[in-house]
Structure 1
């Protein structure tokens, strides 16, 4: 994948996450605020003040998630982002972390 292709894909992934959390907020599923600065998306859970940070790492062509449960790196495999350690899928994992931190079932992607 070229750098331009990665940047486009990373941008659309961050957009997709932000839109999903906006919908969940509008549906009263979880009280969350998203802030975006460039390639960094900060997701704050208002109830407890915890955060999940999602960002892209262009030099490595990876998406990174920092959550209470740890830091995780995802590389593109086919049409999915896959964890570089355990091969878990990005959106399934992010849903799990958000459910844990937000106190309500969250389903993304």
Structure 2
């Protein structure tokens, strides 16, 4: 009889193995390296969002701010606020989305992207999916730093 364990069941049965793998992936970054990569990512997204919302007359009271590792994007009462921040102790970027809720992204140097391991979606893919409906135009978050795109322009 063959027995197949789902990844969810496997992680519940063997949680230490997965937490160890997570540490192995990120242990190669020093604190300063992590903060540099995280801040480049957040600053790049901040600049891109500022450019996007500049011409969005339908968005009232919209603004974005980046300070001390925290990016806040307020799309007003209708769409809510995104908070994206670095978590240095965990070496993660955390996102709180009014559409999809909270997510924690790990940096994968091999692909130069921040990935949510529960669904393997990158931070930039999530923004690429959610933001167009808010700004009512096409977006390209893959132009931002550490998006997994080979050419960030």
Question: Normalization by structure 1: what TM-score?
Answer: 0.85
Q: Give the length in aligned residue pairs.
A: 108
Equivalences for 1:1-109 in 2 at 5 Å?
A: 1-28=29-56, 31=59, 32-46=62-76, 48=78, 50-68=80-98, 69-77=100-108, 78=110, 79-100=112-133, 102=134, 104-105=136-137, 106-109=139-142
Moved over 3 A (4+): 27-32
> CA RMSD of the aligned region, Å?
2.0
**Higher share of residues assigned helix:** 2
Say which structure is richer in strand. 1
Long gaps (5+) in structure 2: 1-28, 143-153
1:30/1:89 CA distance change after superposition, 3 Å:
farther
Query: 2: CA distance between counterparts of 1:15 and 1:38?
Result: 11
Q: Normalising by structure 2, what TM-score? A: 0.63
Alpha-carbon distance, 1:24 to partner: 0.7
Structure with the larger RCO, 1 or 2 (CA within 8 Å, 6+ apart): 1
Give the unaligned 5+ runs of structure 1: none
Bigger-Rg structure (1/2): 2
